[in-house]
Structure 1
């Protein structure tokens, strides 16, 4: 809750600053090149794949049915994030043009106490929300890791050491994330690359192939050949879109990185 409040206050402060800057719309190109389009697609896919961070929390809700649906937590949350991202990108580009950085906070004045406090607030937002962001990874890794330790027996399988080992795993994951953050400071180059690779796989390729492998045998067994044909066509179209986006996006982003 505290993180959400700080985030909303910070966004309001950033937006009012961007709106007050001289509009450069007339000087900006109306359409970007192919590499720019694919980089944008990668960033958008990266943002939308963030929903995977909260989906496993559905089972922990008092009323899991409230997660999905037209006005469910996921739908409202993703819609709000989409509007905020689009607004931030649009206002940032109209304010700074091609000089806009990968994070809009890098374009803010560096020697102003107000903006220094704003960056501190956003740092607290990340700190307070990191527990939720790390929850899915720990929830996937820890049970399997503890089962292995229990099978091995001995000192490592002691129940008294379960919590220390889990904390050690969390600390190790934080250390890895910190190393990546230090090693790759230019996120504007990394985010589109991750988006067009893992994003395309998770959004287009893997779901389509799983859908095809799951339902095609059932349709054929029931002799529903028309539905089977329609299923093949739909899933193949999604696979082709995913392959095109992944290959073209990978090529475009690598060109931008090595420029």
Structure 2
């Protein structure tokens, strides 16, 4: 049994940080014309509106909830300005990836290339013999960072679920129906947050045992509805009675800025979904407009919630804004509702590393043991994300670390280098080369400094950070 057969029969290679379980590639490619934007034919392809919804869904998740703390780490003025700049650069890199993918589709007469294929073909077209001979490493590098990013997302989900459920349970004895005159309550101590993570472990293992993507699409719908309702309620809270912002610093100390960078790039890391979304459109020529409109909406949501959340909660803002919600039943239900959405989203984020890793092991197992090996590998991967979450139980540091380590590579470092490698032999202006070099250097600096600061803060915190059981969160 070959790995290729396993991929063709059991897995759809989206190579994406977002999975749309409802859609799968069509087998009919006979009508493909060289240079065409149409990839998989007409069956089940998405409209411009559906593509826009998928784009928004794939970018708005737990990273959004961490942006108020990110703004605190950058400053009330520096934070939104930096978010705007990072958003513009990230969207530009998405456009670069689409342009390079179209180039190789026309050049190689292929109906579709994903992120890994594009990098591999870019290295194959390089004038350097060494790069051409090691072109297959391009796909391996992209797959590696996709795995790290997606498993990092899953680890973030463990911490998010544990923190929110722990807070709801500890505050249950003081939860009221009055959401306006909320007072500090005496919390009822419960078990450590790591034990909550272990409590969620068997349920998440059972969830990822679901391998049918159409079944997962039902969970995706539930997750989207619950998270949308929660976000509306959060916005409704943060725009009310905003405190005087004059005591908040416009520019935060530079030591905390790398933590801002990691969180921001974690939120904007949706580049892996760009090519699959463009490929599934009925009219792919509309995709550039949809990309820029959709990401403009995403950037506006990021900046608005980041600033409003920081203005509302000030220095007490936590790793997820849900942990700052008032101690009344309405907002406690919002925490639980968003947590339910994150719980179901875990299986969708888990799908991408699963379809990269599992075929490697299953293809080497006896045919009668394939299902057992599949389930064992899934269990081991979920346990790995749980272990990583227990080692770094601070939600803000997990988000910053994942963003700095892997998201910066996929979103900022690789695309500009890919453009240089792809088009240098065909003639590029020095200004374009300089622009690409600056973006890659920015991404690499964020990768190094952000990772270092996150690890340093984890090993030796510079200040007492507000834990999820702090009474001040309910004032």
Report the TM-score range of the alignment, normalised by the length of the smaller protein: 0.7 to 0.9
For 1:28 and 1:178, the matched residues in 2 are separated by 36
Quick one: distance in 2 between partners of 1:162 and 1:66? 42
Normalized against structure 1, the TM-score is what?
Answer: 0.77
Equivalent positions of 1:29-178 (< 5 A) are: 29-52=249-272, 54-55=273-274, 57-58=276-277, 61=280, 63=282, 65=284, 68-71=287-290, 78-110=295-327, 112-147=328-363, 149=364, 156-158=365-367, 160-178=368-386
Provide the C-alpha distance between the structure 2 equivalents of 1:105 and 1:229, rounded to a whole number of angstroms.
47
Query: How far off is 1:239 after superposition?
Result: 3.2
Tell me how large the CA RMSD over aligned residues is. Answer: 3.0
Q: Any stretches of 5+ residues in structure 2 without a counterpart?
A: 1-220, 463-475
**Quick one: distance in 2 between partners of 1:68 and 1:182?**
40
Contact map agreement 1:48 1:78 (CA 8 A) in 2: no
Alpha-carbon distance between aligned partners in 2 of 1:19 and 1:134, rounded to the nearest angstrom:
34
- Alignment pair present for 1:246 and 2:432: no
2:380, 2:294 → 1: CA distance? Answer: 30
Cα distance, 1:121 vs structure 2 = 0.8
Paired position in structure 2 for 1:11: 231
- 1:57, distance to aligned residue in structure 2 (A): 4.7
Q: What displacement does 1:204 show?
A: 3.0
**Whole-angstrom CA distance in 2 between matches of 1:23 and 1:238:** 37
Residue pair 2:278, 2:284 contacting (<8 A) in 1 also: no
The 10-residue stretch of structure 1 (7-16 or 161-170) with the greater mean CA deviation from structure 2: 161-170
Residue range with higher mean Cα deviation, 57-66 or 242-251 = 57-66
- C-alpha separation in 1, matches of 2:290 and 2:440: 30
Alignment partners' CA distance in 2, 1:203 and 1:81: 15
Q: How many residues align?
A: 240
- Shift of residue 240, structure 1, vs aligned partner: 2.8
1:153 corresponds in structure 2 to: none
**Change beyond 3 A, Cα 1:165–1:203:** same
Q: Secondary structure at the match of 1:20?
A: coil
CA 1:211 to 1:97, structure 2 compared with 1: closer, same or farther past 3 Å? Answer: same
Residue range with higher mean Cα deviation, 162-171 or 227-236: 227-236
Does the CA-based 8 Å contact 1:58-1:67 persist in structure 2? no
More helix by share: 1
Matched, 1:193 2:401: yes
The superposition leaves residues 101-137 of structure 1 with CA deviations (integer Å, 9 ceiling, x where unpaired) of 0111111234x22222212211210122222211211
Q: TM-score, normalised by structure 2?
A: 0.45
Task: Tell me the CA shift for residue 139 of structure 1.
Answer: 1.8
Listed one character per residue, the Cα deviations across residues 22-45 of structure 1 (whole Å, up to 9, x for unaligned) are 423122112222233332222111
> In 1, distance between residues paired with 2:356 and 2:285?
23
Tell me if structure 1 keeps the 8 A contact 2:248–2:314. Answer: yes
Are the structure 2 counterparts of residues 255 and 180 from structure 1 closer, same or farther at C-alpha, using a change threshold of 3 Å?
A: closer
Runs of 4+ aligned structure 1 residues displaced above 6 Å come to: none
Contact map agreement 1:193 1:253 (CA 8 A) in 2: yes
